[in-house]
Amino acid sequence: MAIERTLSIIKPDAVAKNVIGQIYSRFESNGLKIVAAQMKQLSRADAEGFYAAHKERGFFKDLVDFMVSGPVMIQVLEGENAVLKNRELMGATDPKKADKGTIRADFADSIDANAVHGSDAVEAAKVEIAYFFGA
């Protein structure tokens, strides 16, 4: 089993719902260690740069509006198969399709306001961690 790092963001909807601690508890009880963290109010440039891969998609402007609507909690998670493990804990992008007991099933309201981000691959995680935490 590989020890990996992945980037996680608790999005503005979940920060506003006061569930940072409950989400952290899921990470920790599933073997993911929080090795760096920062609360941040993203600028539009921060959000646009982070989601640059989606800039041609119809939902891009709404996504950026949402991501700057309040502070986010950004963390680096470390553990065995951290990238996949975090994606499993998060559940599907659309909370209506997310498995029971996942973070999105329990804390998200819609596909736009879906509580958390998690890197989808080890290479993406490296880029995303560097984006917020530097080398």
- Tell me which residues touch ligand UDP (CB under 6 A): 59, 63, 93, 111-112, 114, 117, 120
* Residue 93, annotated as binding a ligand: yes
Nearer to ligand UDP, 3 or 52 (CB): 52
CB 107, CB 12: distance < 8 Å: no
* Residue 104, annotated as binding a ligand: yes
Q: What minimum distance in Å lies between the beta carbon of 117 and ligand UDP?
A: 5
Which H, E and C letters describe the chain, residue by residue? Answer: CCEEEEEEEECHHHHHCCCHHHHHHHHHHCCCEEEEEEEECCCHHHHHHHCHHHCCCCCHHHHHHHHCCCCEEEEEEEEECHHHHHHHHHCCCCHHHCCCCCHHHHHCCCCCCCCEEECCCHHHHHHHHHHHHCC
Catalytic, 54? Answer: no
Q: What minimum distance in Å lies between the beta carbon of 132 and ligand UDP?
A: 16
Nearer to ligand UDP, 79 or 128 (CB): 128
* Residue 102, annotated as binding a ligand: no
Among residues 117, 125, 128, 132, which one is catalytic? 117
* Residue 18, annotated as binding a ligand: no
Nearer to ligand UDP, 78 or 109 (CB): 109
Q: What minimum distance in Å lies between the beta carbon of 69 and ligand UDP?
A: 12
End-to-end CA distance of the chain: 24
Active site residues: 117
Binding residue ranges for ATP: 11, 59, 87, 93, 104, 114
